[in-house]
Structure 1
Amino acid sequence: MEAHDGHVIPALVTTKGSFVPVLSPENCGIDILDNGRTIRDFLDSKIKERGSADNEEPFYVASLDSILERHLRWRTNLPRVTPFYAVKCNNDASVLRMMSALDTGFDCASKVEIQLMLSLGVTPDKIIYAHTTKPLSHIKYACTHGVDMMTFDSEEELLKISLSHAKAKLVLRIAVDDSASKIRLSLKFGARLESVGKLLGRAGELGLEVIGVSFHVGSGCTGSLAFKQAIADARRVFDMGNLLGFQMSLLDIGGGFSGREDCQVAFEEFSEVINGALEEFFPPDSGVQIIAEPGRYYVDSAFTLAANVIAKRVITDDMDEHNDGKDNCPDRTMMYYLNDGVYGSLSCLINDAAHTQVEPYLNRVVESSEQRYRSVIWGPTCDSFDKVTDSCWIPELHVGDWLLIDNMGAYSICLSTDFNGFERAHIYPVVTAETWHTLNLS
């Protein structure tokens, strides 16, 4: 089946020779938006449904259309780079099945993530075990289940792999300049260039197969030239490996791509720099396979969170002689308490340095003439650390109203807890009828 831009979008995967659907309303609880219904219509209907059922629990709406649009944009701008979706970013079943339907690979960081992808019918060759500090039992599990491609960055890791998975296809992760990123992963992972020769030599002594190089410029990268330097560094390592007799055939350029439209550097700018560097250091006739590990790029903008106002306080300055106590006094500070916060869906505010601010908005049209008040929004728990935003200017809300927050797909549900007994937000995957038929999944 061809998408609108001509790219082929596979709808099925094979398991033991038979074709099986990887995505369906039955296995993912997907709602199909037909008859011109929009995501906003769906949100409104769910909020109305919850109101009639006396249910104010928070929920997400996940747009599979958004994920498809991101994928087509990737294929257009980075045609040589195969995405291996980072499972850690968002492991919702509908997301993983959608990525599988789009025929991407998967970046897994643990035994459980590998188990999950295999259970969904993903074949082992579509998985890279992209963690350089792996528990021995996890390496053994990967070996038993045919997951051969994995990363390393130290001699100790090579020793573990030689004992537990001697036939592994190894990818050497190098440290690169990630000073332009909000989350600097090279502080924790990656071999320095000066130690690469020794590591490659040790791999050879152990009889291990090294097939390529990986790096990660860091999450929330704000400088596209970081990719050019990292690709140039990878070329140097390739040359070292080839001289030592390794058949170097894979380059993994990692992640660091934003999924938001308001990011500092556009995806197209990153793509232009990456394509230019690949042309210079790894031209098509080099025969090198190029992969990447995008996570937030695919899912960040696909998820919208709906949270309910469960409590409210009004703070007034009694010492202000101009405060006449009227409801429309702009000196009032409104304090609202939602049923989701930093221990739940909004944990990204404290755990994800690339996502430190959210912009809640009302689930209705706000007239320009409406009085706005400085509002502090809190989460539901007993902890005063559970603050969503310190100051936003919105019209007055009432208990039972709903606030919406966009761009909530990355590092949200995977980091959520049920602290204080507050339930995790339910997820409603939706897809338009047009996209459903484009994917040929009905």
Structure 2
Amino acid sequence: MKFTNLDERIHVVHPDSDSWKIIRDIAESGVQEEPFYVFDIGDIVHKYKEWKLKMPRVEPFYAVKCNDSSTVLEVLAALGTSFDCASKGEIMKVMELGVDPSRIIFANPTKPASHIRHAAAMGVDTMTFDNETELHKIKSLFPTAKLVIRIRADAAVAQCQLGMKFGCDANTEAPRLLKLARSLDLDVIGVSFHVGSGCGDPPAFRRAIASAKMLFNAGENLGYNFRILDIGGGFPGNKNSSIHKISEVVNAALEDYFPDPGLVRVIAEPGRFFVASAFTLATNIHSKREIPAGGETTSVMYYINDGVYGSFNSLLYDHAHVTPIPLKNHSGKLYPSSVWGPTCDGLDQVTEMALLPLMSVGEWIIFEDMGAYTLPVASPFNGFPLPKVHVIADETIWYMLKDHLPLTEDHFVLGGTPNNLRLGLDIAGNEVMQDWSMPSLCHQDSGSSLEDTSSSAFHFDYVEVGPIN
């Protein structure tokens, strides 16, 4: 990987620091006006540890569509995570990091022909399907692919329902599709489902796993030997959320329906779980309008420099709810307030009503839990720039990750970090300390491929790293 001066390095900060301290440091510098993110990669590391602790049998395949930041992918790859890709573009982005194609599942049930050809050329042979047309397409374009049938398994409560678009009926359609796959001599290796993004109905996982077991039996009757169970996504990732209830349901269901881990490999496709709380967004109030009645201010409209065409597209596409938090401490009366984005579109409203103190132009409003389905869809509509992302890691996280490919010490910068962050600059000229040495990260090897657990998890192409200008 060759760095350029446009790339953002990971700034190593003191263990006592955190995203809010960094945000305050940047905001109070007096030279920053544009919106910006602080992305703490330590948050992802802690989420990975939580996953391994609570669902040790389930291997995470990160859903790239949730946040395809190169740094996000590099950190997850360094931890040993595999990837759920939905397009040839996502496949390429992951493989360019050195991730072996066997660590990717092409989990889009309806794929353009050119994307199937690309997957075949790159060796990404595990993919999902949920309809007859897809089977005939795969037979024509990639007959040696390893297929996973996706069934519909809607949660009663979910932030984003997916069943109306993907997933065949487990009782009626799935048996027919399996028979067709057998007649076409296609290799079906397992069952997948997705209960819906941001699941609020943990028992949905048990119902879906029970349906998957039924299809494992149906596949056996057709001469198949299913060995992959993909339990999809739906795992919450905001601060103060937990996967504890879901993990209890999943672990119990696996014990009841798939008790032998040697016979069935269980994977999942978490997205927001890993990244939602890792990103915190700082926005600046550039204008405001006080609404008077009876000679007094009754409500306030605040205009900030990011909106629904930028980071807050998640309000439209991900059904997100955001909470504005003033960076500056205020005392006194709270006013009914609305927060608006910077564009000329009247639909560009971030929050319709929130109780906020009376703030001044130039103050900052902070939004937490902004890592999922935000930046990948953001656009510079009306000429407003996308927020810069400042990436941080404390010293402990740096020691854990700095020697785990695709991360190297060149990804990190030490010394003078606060000044560079305040100014929003790149890291040219900083001295990097060379005499630090700590134990490297000890992470559980999550295996290698969906089929062969003896192959390497990564392949690497070393290139010369030029100077950072």
Using the size of structure 2 for normalisation, the TM-score is 0.83
Structure 2 residue aligned with 1:30: 10
1:107 and 1:46 map into 2 onto residues whose CA distance is 35
Structure-1 residue corresponding to 2:330? 366
CA shift digits 1:217-275 (9 cap, x unpaired): 01121111100000000000111111111120000000001102455xx4111100100
TM superposition shift of 1:291: 0.2
Matched-pair contact (CA < 8 Å) for 1:259–1:299: yes
C-alpha separation in 2, matches of 1:261 and 1:337: 26
Q: 2:140 aligns with which of 159, 163, 183?
A: 163
Residue 299 of structure 1 corresponds to 275
Deviation at 1:36? Answer: 3.1
Instruction: Tell me which of 314, 322, 325 is aligned to 2:290.
Output: 314
The match for 1:3 is none
Which of 30, 36, 44 matches 2:24? 44
Supply the AA of the counterpart residue of 1:281: Y
| Matching of residue 274 in structure 1 with residue 238 in structure 2 | no
2:179 corresponds to 1:217: no
* Partner Cα distance (2:166, 2:155) in 1: 12
Q: Which runs of 5+ in 2 are unaligned?
A: 404-408, 410-469
Match of 1:229 in 2: 207
Q: Secondary structure, in 3 states, of the residue corresponding to 1:342?
A: coil
Q: Is the 8 A contact 2:67 2:372 kept in 1?
A: yes
**Take 1:400 and 1:160, find their aligned partners in 2: how far apart are those partners?**
56
CA distance in 1, matches of 2:17, 2:57: 36
Partner of 2:416 in structure 1?
none
Query: Does the aligned pair in 2 maintain the 1:28–1:93 contact within 8 Å?
Result: no
* Counterpart in the other structure of 2:312: 346
- Could you tell me how far 1:116 is from its partner in structure 2? 0.5
Code of the aligned partner of 1:344: G
C-alpha separation between the residues in 2 aligned to 1:32 and 1:360?
28
Contact 1:311 1:338 in 2 (8 A): yes
SS of match in other structure, 2:105:
strand
What is aligned with 1:426?
Answer: 388
Give secondary structure in 2 for the equivalent of 1:316.
strand
Partner of 1:108: 85
Shift of 1:285: 4.7
Question: Structure 1's 335 and 27: CA in aligned 2 closer, same or farther, altered over 3 A?
Answer: closer
- The alpha carbon displacement at 1:39 in A equals 2.2
Given candidates 104, 110, 117, the residue that maps to 1:140 is 117
Corresponding residue to 1:78 among 44, 51, 55: 55
Aligned equivalents of 1:243 and 1:66: distance in 2?
45
Provide the C-alpha distance between the structure 1 equivalents of 2:401 and 2:99, rounded to a whole number of angstroms: 18
Instruction: Output one character per residue of 1:132-156: Cα deviation in whole Å (capped at 9) or x when no partner.
Output: 1100000000000000000001110
Q: In the TM superposition, what is the alpha-carbon distance from 1:34 to its structure 2 partner?
A: 2.4
Q: What is the rounded CA distance, in whole Å, between the counterparts of 1:27 and 1:432 in structure 2? A: 20
Equivalent position amino acid for 2:18 in 1 = T
Structure 1 residue ranges without an equivalent (≥5): 1-19, 324-328
Whether the aligned pair in 1 keeps the contact of 2:8 and 2:389 (CA below 8 Å) is no
The alpha-carbon deviation at position 207 of structure 1 amounts to 1.4
Q: Does 2:371 align with 1:393? A: no
Deviations 1:191-223 (A, max 9, x none): 112121211111112111000000000112111
**Cα pair 2:308 2:349 within 8 Å, conserved:** yes
Are 1:257 and 2:235 an aligned pair?
yes
Q: Is the 8 A contact 1:178 1:185 kept in 2?
A: no
2:301 aligned to which of 313, 335, 346: 335
Instruction: Give 2:430's aligned residue.
Output: none
Please report how far the alpha carbon of residue 278 of structure 1 lies from its aligned counterpart in structure 2 after TM superposition.
Answer: 0.2
Shift of 1:182: 3.2
Q: How does 1:12-27 map to 2 (within 5 A)?
A: none
Map Cα deviations across residues 75-102 of structure 1 (whole Å, 9 max, x no partner): 0000000000000000111111011011
Q: How does 1:126-137 map to 2 (within 5 A)?
A: 126-137=103-114
Q: How far, CA to CA, are the matches of 2:15 and 2:134 in structure 1?
A: 55
Q: Structure 2 counterpart of 1:31, which letter?
A: H
Distance 1:275 1:27 in 2: 41
Structure 1 residues 339-391: Cα deviation after superposition (integer angstroms, max 9, x where no partner): 101111011111112x1x21111112334xx2222211110010111111122
Q: CA deviation at 1:66?
A: 0.7
Q: What does the per-residue CA deviation read over 1:305-336, in whole Å, with 9 as the maximum and x for residues that have no partner? A: 0011111111101xx3xx4xxxxx5x431111
Q: Which range is displaced more, 271-280 or 420-429?
A: 420-429
* Structure 2: distance between partners of 1:71 and 1:28: 23
Q: CA RMSD in A?
A: 1.9
SS in 1 for 2:61: strand
Q: Match for 1:103: what amino acid?
A: G
CA distance in 2, matches of 1:192, 1:36: 51
Which of 266, 280, 293 aligns to 1:290? It is: 266
Q: Which secondary structure state, in structure 2, belongs to the residue aligned with residue 128 of structure 1?
A: strand
Which string of whole-angstrom CA distances, capped at 9 and with x for unpartnered residues, describes residues 418-439 of structure 1? Answer: 1111111111111111111133
Q: CA deviation at 1:415?
A: 1.4
Higher relative contact order (CA 8 A, sep 6+): 2
Tell me, yes or no, if the aligned pair for 1:300 and 1:410 is still in contact at 8 Å: yes
Alpha-carbon deviation of 1:26?
10
CA–CA distance in structure 2, aligned partners of residues 434 and 35 of structure 1: 7
Deviates more, 1:31-40 or 1:65-74: 31-40
Q: Distance in 2 between matches of 1:300 and 1:379?
A: 21
1:197 to 168, 175, 192: 175
C-alpha separation between the residues in 2 aligned to 1:393 and 1:40? 21
Corresponding residue SS for 1:174: strand
Contact 2:8–2:390 (8 Å) recurs in 1 = no
